[in-house]
Structure 1
C-alpha cells in the first residue's frame, strides 16, 4: 500500500479505526491513541516507543492492520450492495 493512500485511509476513517487500535496494539494507552488523531507518523512513533520495534517494522504492522480494515470494509460494501 502506498504511503499516501495509507495516510488518507487512516486519517479519513480515524474515528472508526481508533477503537480498533488498542485492540491491535494493546500496549498503547488511551492517551497514545488520542494523540495520534489519524496521523500515521505519530502512530508509527507510538508503536516504536511501546514495542521497541524499528520504524520499518511499525509501518509494516500498520500497513497489515489497515489492509485488514480495508478488506473488511470492502466486504461490508459488497454485502450491502447485494442486499439492495
Structure 2
C-alpha cells in the first residue's frame, strides 16, 4: 500500500495499529499520519527493533490491511 493511500485511510486504521503495537500512544499513531517511515521509526524507538525489522512489520501491517 503506498503512503498516499495509507494516509487517507489512516484514521480508520489507527485502531488496528493500536492492537498491533499497543505500546504506541494514540497521539503517536495520529502523528504518524499513516506514513510507513514515521510508523517504522516509532516502532524502532519504542520496541528497540532494528530499522529493517520495524520496516518489515509496517510493510506486513499495510499489506494485511490492504482492503481496509
TM-score by length of 2: 0.84
Please give the alpha-carbon distance, in whole angstroms, between the structure 2 residues aligned to 1:15 and 1:34.
7
Bigger radius of gyration: 1
Matches within 5 A, 1:24-39: 24-39=20-35
Which structure has more helix as a fraction of its residues? 1
Please give the alpha-carbon distance, in whole angstroms, between the structure 1 residues aligned to 2:37 and 2:64.
19
Where structure 2 has 5 or more consecutive residues not aligned to the other structure, the ranges are none
Please give the alpha-carbon distance, in whole angstroms, between the structure 1 residues aligned to 2:9 and 2:19.
16
**Cα RMSD, aligned residues only:** 1.6
Please give the alpha-carbon distance, in whole angstroms, between the structure 1 residues aligned to 2:54 and 2:33.
17
Higher relative contact order (CA 8 A, sep 6+): 2
Out of 12, 22, 35, which is 1:16 matched to?
A: 12
Out of 22, 47, 50, which is 1:51 matched to?
A: 47
Where structure 1 has 5 or more consecutive residues not aligned to the other structure, the ranges are 75-84
**Deviating runs (4+, > 2 A) in structure 1?**
none
